[in-house]
Amino acid sequence: MVLTVLYLSIGFALLIFGADLLVRGASSLAKRFNVPEIVIGLTIVAFGTSTPEMIVNIIAALKGAADISFGNIIGSNNFNILIILGISSLIFPLEAKSNTAWKEVPFALLSAVVLLFLVNDRWLNIDSVNILTRWDGIILLILFSMFLVYVFKLMSSDFTNDSDTKIYRLFTTIGFIIVGLAGLILGGNFVVKNAVVIAQQIGISERIIGLTIVAAGTSLPELATSVVAAIKKHPDIALGNVVGSNIFNILLILGITAIINPTSYQTAFNQDLYLMIFSTVLLFVLLFVPKKHKLDRYEGAIFLLMFVAYAVFFLK
């Protein structure tokens, strides 16, 4: 038990260390090449922190574990919005400095809605089977390509990065990003494995473990990165990381999953998808409808309470 707790502590230390290096490297990269921080958050940071989801889904696709494929992505996306943005905005209100953010959040919403219709084949034909086919996977990857074109245009647009971020040498910056991502992935694995062991030893059921520790496990890199970004007052990285990860998870990871192995879909996941869609709409409303471009602490608390209420309902 003592050794397990030690490994758990090492995992959290690696998460914090990796997140700190990743945020330093990402913000330095944005400053060096004069691109918006949200672009770095939407691409390098989002893809890096989505690596655990990618690995889990590829393995699940090869083994034909459909529920793991969908549960991993949908659960992680809900965790990203409600828990990660909730905690991050409680630490430091997240102000979307870039005016382009109002486009990324609707794109995340579009991704969720498209997924909802692609997997519910029986809505159109009651005799059909709900499945994410290879053609569906191609549609998701085409949408992902459109997202990349949009991000490339953002990088090419006129922009002046006037933040006071320290610029490191290019070799150091890249090293920070690579080592940071490695620390996040390794730390996340340490935390999940040892947290499951501790939970089993104190008598928590496997069902509860799966719905809590394991489901949140692949989102630990996003959590650590966004929290550190909030502490260091890089809100666009914190926001871009979550929104970008959700887009990557649906369009890229589920797209690849479907192409590797067409994946059957259980309608029980619809309630989770509805939560994802509702949460994304709420994020857009809270950020942009009042034109304040800011997620305040009380709004972060709303997200956290929503997740708690959903967990209590789901775990009945």
pLDDT tens-digit profile of 9-52? 787 778 777 777 777 777 777 777 777 767 777 777 777 777 77
Give the residue numbers spanning the domain of 43.
Answer: 2-314
Quote the tokens at residue 160.
């002046």
pTM above 0.95, yes or no: no
Per DSSP, the residues of 30-98 read HHHTT--HHHHIIIIIHHHHTHHHHHHHHHHHHHT-HHHHHHHHHHHHHHIIIIIHHHHHHHS-EE--S
H/E element, 206: helix 206-209
Q: Which residue has the higher pLDDT, 37 or 209?
A: 37
Residue pointed to by tokens 């998870």: 249
CATH number of the domain enclosing 14: 1.20.1420.30
Instruction: Provide the 10 A C-beta neighbour count for residue 262.
Output: 17
Query: Coil, strand or helix: which one is 165?
Result: coil
How confident is residue 207, by pLDDT bands cut at 50, 70 and 90? very low
Instruction: Provide the 10 A C-beta neighbour count for residue 314.
Output: 11
User: What angle is formed at CA 117 by the lines to CA 111 and CA 120, rounded to 5 degrees?
Assistant: 135
- C-alpha 126/C-alpha 280 separation (Å) is 29
- C-alpha 119/C-alpha 114 separation (Å) is 9
User: By the 8 A CB rule, do 54 and 72 touch?
Assistant: no
Segment 65-113, tens digit of pLDDT? 777 778 878 888 998 999 999 999 998 888 776 655 678 889 999 999 9
pLDDT for 271 equals 87
Of the candidate ranges 8-12, 93-97, 133-137, 214-218, the one whose mean pLDDT is the lowest? 214-218
CA-wise closest residue to 224 among 7, 52, 85, 19: 19
* Residue 295 β-bridge partners: 94
* CA 96 to mean position of chain CA atoms: 17
Residue 305 Cα distances to 67, 162, 274, 308, angstroms: 26, 36, 17, 5
User: By the 8 A CB rule, do 47 and 248 touch?
Assistant: yes
User: By the 8 A CB rule, do 223 and 191 touch?
Assistant: no
H/E element, 296: none
Residue pointed to by tokens 């409600």: 82
Characterize 202-223 residue by residue with b for buried, 16 or more Cβ atoms within 10 angstroms of its Cβ, and e for exposed. eeeeeeebebbbbbbbbbbbbb
Instruction: Return the axis-axis angle of helices 66-79 and 297-314, rounded to nearest 10°.
Output: 150
The domain tally of the chain equals 1
